[in-house]
Amino acid sequence: MQKLAQGITDQLVQNNIVKPEDADSCRYGLELMFSSVSEILCVLVISLFAGNFAETVVFFIAFMPLRIYGGGYHADTRLRCFLILLAAYGVLTALLMLLPLEAYRYVIFGGAAFTLIAVIALAPVRHNNKHLSENEVRVYRKIAVGVCIAEAAAALVGGILAGESPYILSFVCGQLAVSLSMIAACIKINIAGR
């Protein structure tokens, strides 16, 4: 992935699409994008074999926009990042397999409320590799809170209308994964700051 990202960056610089001084940022962004896409594709392939592909797609539909604007935990290596994603997918799979249907509504309502509180309190969680200006922080915060409110409303309506749906549960699990990631990132930042 590094060679591919470097090759694309070189082409973008040669064609004057990217300034030479921005080449490192461009290459890093491409590496991160390729890594993220390959990790998600890997989880989706696993979900085909586990029989919960649609639920996994729904998980990512809730997870990705909130994670982009709300921020969250960043592992020190790509392997650890992938392992954390696999762990989140494992929890989703376990809940889908083991949680009694009558408990779905509790997780849906509780998870949506917990996520809303976490996003309002913490978003966006900053990371060293993603430098945001104060204006960008305000914009990301507004978007994160807006996305979270929309997702929470969708989850609550879904919970009321179809509270025993594995899709609504998966959607809320995507939200919960982000809120827990944000909390973990804040803990990591506080520990590093000591």
What residues are paired with 127 via a beta bridge?
130
Residue ranges per structural domain of the chain: 1-50, 51-193
Q: What is the pLDDT of residue 109?
A: 97
pTM (2 decimals)? Answer: 0.87
**pLDDT of 103-120, one tens digit each?**
999 999 999 999 999 999
Cα 75 to Cα 91: distance, rounded to the nearest angstrom: 18
Percent of the residues in the chain that have a pLDDT greater than 90, as a whole number: 63
Average pLDDT over residues 45-55: 96
Centroid of chain to Cα 160: 25
Q: What integer pLDDT is reported at residue 194 of this predicted model?
A: 54
The confidence score (pLDDT) of residue 6 equals 86
Task: State the pLDDT confidence band at 73, using cuts at 50, 70 and 90.
Answer: confident
- Mean pLDDT along residues 83-92: 94
Sign of the torsion angle spanned by Cα atoms 90, 93, 97, 103: positive
